[in-house]
Structure 1
Amino acid sequence: MRRVGQIIGLKPDAIETYERLHAAVWPEVLATIHACNIRNYTIFRHGTLLFAYFEYVGEDYEADMAKMAADPKTQEWWKLTDPLQEPVESRAPGEWWAMMREVFHTD
């Protein structure tokens, strides 16, 4: 199992819309998340920063993320949510959500 932490900004005028959308995530999007081996997926908000945490239980992270990106319903969802977000400047090339480095964990 791989733990993943990510961060992205949220446009200040988009907070209400973003939270409303995530209060009723489409079942097809949730099914794709599960089919792509993501578990325990959580998004937290602090002001205009979003922090996402999930556990990846698959064998090929890149292939599963490509599978998710190719899903038509997920693409439709991202057309609604992506314009509400503001990627952080420190993200790596090609990243939308910036990957975070794990520095501590305990069970």
Structure 2
Amino acid sequence: MKTYALALDLKDDEQLIKEYEQHHRAISPEIRDSIQTAGVIDMRIYRLGNRLFMIMVVADDFSFEKKAAMDAGNPKVQEWERLMWKYQQPLPQAKEGEKWILMDEIFSL
């Protein structure tokens, strides 16, 4: 197993943040299944203000490239991603079209 941490910002709007959280409390089985099928064992998202942190525990054979290819071919995931983009905004370090940014681990106990 491997663990990854990623960051992303939400648009700094209280109502949009509330809606974003509501969507995540009612995530569809198709989206949940697509995450698990890609090899994600556990996924958690935390929020501080409009900053999000995602912790992903993944199987040894997980790859972001494989997940991206699976997501690109899944209409439900594409619909979800379009909806989420209403609430999200890229970090200043993001490349064109990039959402979640992989964080560097700097300490482990």
Q: Give the alignment's TM-score, normalised by structure 1.
A: 0.89
Gaps (5+ residues) in structure 2? none
- Equivalent pairs counted in the alignment come to 106
Percent of aligned positions with the same letter in both sequences? Answer: 32
Question: Among residues 61, 64, 69, which one is paired with 2:67 in the alignment?
Answer: 64
Deviation for aligned residue 1:94: 5.3
Aligned to 1:22: 24
Deviating more after overlay: 12-21 vs 54-63: 54-63
Q: Does 1:38 align with 2:40?
A: yes
What is the identity, as a one-letter code, of the residue corresponding to 1:68? D
TM-score by length of structure 2 reads: 0.87
Distance 1:60 1:40 in 2: 12
Counterpart Cα distance in 1 of 2:10 and 2:26: 18
Gaps of 5+ in 1: none
Relative to structure 1, is the Cα distance of residues 69 and 2 closer, same or farther in structure 2, using a 3 angstrom cutoff?
Answer: farther
Preserved CA contact (<8 Å) 2:11 2:89: yes
| SS in structure 2 of the partner of residue 12 of structure 1 | coil
